[in-house]
Chains A and B, each alone.
Chain A
Amino acid sequence: MQQSSRLAIYALIELASKPDSQISAAEIGAKYRVSAHHLAKVLMTLGRAGLVQSVRGVGGGYSFTGNAKRLDLDQIISLFEDTSTSCKLADPSKATDEEWALFDVTKEISDIARSTYKSITIQTMLKQVNRRSDMRKRSRNEV
């Protein structure tokens, strides 16, 4: 997964977890240790896709406008990268048996990854984040 896709998912989780707040690119960037400039580009793409909206001025920032129950990871990743390229043959008509054999393997992996991304919504990611957070608190209490 490319860094832009990763940042987009982080930003959407962050914004969807605080639906009534406006959060700046700088705040999100600081949390994930990335430049606000890079994040702003990612947020612009998400804005064009109708997943976030920005409010300018003091107290402004970004807010989530998508449907967390319906928005899956594959839809987000597809905004930043061609999810089908990982298993494409350059020229299928000239491909050798060896190239086809490797194609079969990479396609198998790619299909599994794609269906996994398709099945995970932002809402599911929020639940996963909460479970992680609970696990971390429990292990801290045990120490």
Chain B
Amino acid sequence: MTEKTEKKQAAFDFKICRATPHHLKYVVELDERTTGKSKFDYWQDIFERYGARRIDQRFFLVAEAPNDGGSGILGMIVGEVRGWEFGSEPCGWIFAISVEPDRRQQGIGEALFKAMCDEFRNVGIEKVRTMVRRQNTLQMSFFRGEGMMAGPFIQLEKKLNDG
């Protein structure tokens, strides 16, 4: 999707487009509302890396109301094509998705997910992956509802002071 191409959804009037520097403030605010933490520096860094560089393989999309006069965004999703780490063939990774809490269950998250999958498909990618905290039933249910299932990798970790 280029910055000029936008998708309109039939069920609810909003459009999905690539994030621009104008959206940074709204992304930070949305993230703070949903996670309870303000991470301006983190999102600024993500914007620089995903909004401007290697944008043929990195996608930062936002959902906004049409004719938005600066009233913010309805949701956002960030993903990129990564390959060969952990012996994996190139695949699309979604590493952030968020929808305005009082606009959930209205198809925005699903539209963002589908738009991201279209972006991956357009660059020849056949598989999409993400990672979800086990206790995060909301996100887990969302991705499951979109047809995602456990993949062939399992995440392992160790406390470094455990010896």
Once the chains bind, are A127 and B134 in contact (CB under 8 Å)?
A: no
Contact surface of A with B, Cβ cutoff 8 Å: 72, 111-112, 115-116, 118-121, 123-124, 127-128, 131
B11 sits at the interface (CB 8 A): no
List the A residue with the shortest CB-CB distance to B140: A119
Please tell me which stretch of B31-39, B76-84, B121-129, B144-152 contacts chain A, meaning at least 4 of its Cβ atoms lie within 8 angstroms of it. B144-152
CA–CA, A120 and B146, complex, Å: 11
- List B residues 110-145 near A (Cβ within 8 Å): 134-135, 137, 140-141, 144-145
Once the chains bind, are A121 and B135 in contact (CB under 8 Å)?
A: no
Given A115-B140, A116-B150, A118-B140: A127 in contact with B135 (beta carbons within 8 A): no
CA–CA, A111 and B140, complex, Å: 14
CA–CA, A111 and B154, complex, Å: 14
- List, in ascending order, chain A residues with CB within 8 A of B140's CB: 115, 118-119
In this complex, the interface size class of chain B, counting residues with CB under 8 Å from chain A, is: under 10
Contact of B137 among A111, A119, A123, A127 (CB under 8 A): A119
Once the chains bind, are A120 and B147 in contact (CB under 8 Å)?
A: no
Extra A-B contacts (9), CB below 8 Å, given A119-B140, A124-B141, A124-B145: A72-B137, A116-B150, A118-B140, A119-B141, A119-B144, A120-B141, A121-B145, A123-B145, A127-B145
CB proximity of A103 to chain B, nearest CB, Å: 17
Contact surface of B with A, Cβ cutoff 8 Å: 134-135, 137, 140-141, 144-145, 147, 150
- List, in ascending order, chain B residues with CB within 8 A of A121's CB: 141, 144-145
List the A residue with the shortest CB-CB distance to B132: A119
CB proximity of A53 to chain B, nearest CB, Å: 26
- List, in ascending order, chain A residues with CB within 8 A of B137's CB: 72, 115, 118-119
Contact of B144 among A111, A124, A131 (CB under 8 A): A124
The 3 closest A-B pairs by CB, nearest first: A119-B140, A115-B134, A119-B141
Once the chains bind, are A111 and B147 in contact (CB under 8 Å)?
A: no
- List, in ascending order, chain A residues with CB within 8 A of B134's CB: 111-112, 115
Could you write out 18 A-B pairs with CB less than 8 Å apart? Answer: A72-B137, A111-B134, A112-B134, A115-B137, A116-B150, A118-B137, A118-B140, A119-B137, A119-B140, A119-B141, A120-B141, A120-B144, A123-B145, A124-B145, A127-B145, A127-B147, A128-B147, A131-B147
CA–CA, A62 and B114, complex, Å: 36
List the A residue with the shortest CB-CB distance to B142: A119
- List, in ascending order, chain A residues with CB within 8 A of B144's CB: 119-121, 124
Once the chains bind, are A72 and B135 in contact (CB under 8 Å)?
A: no
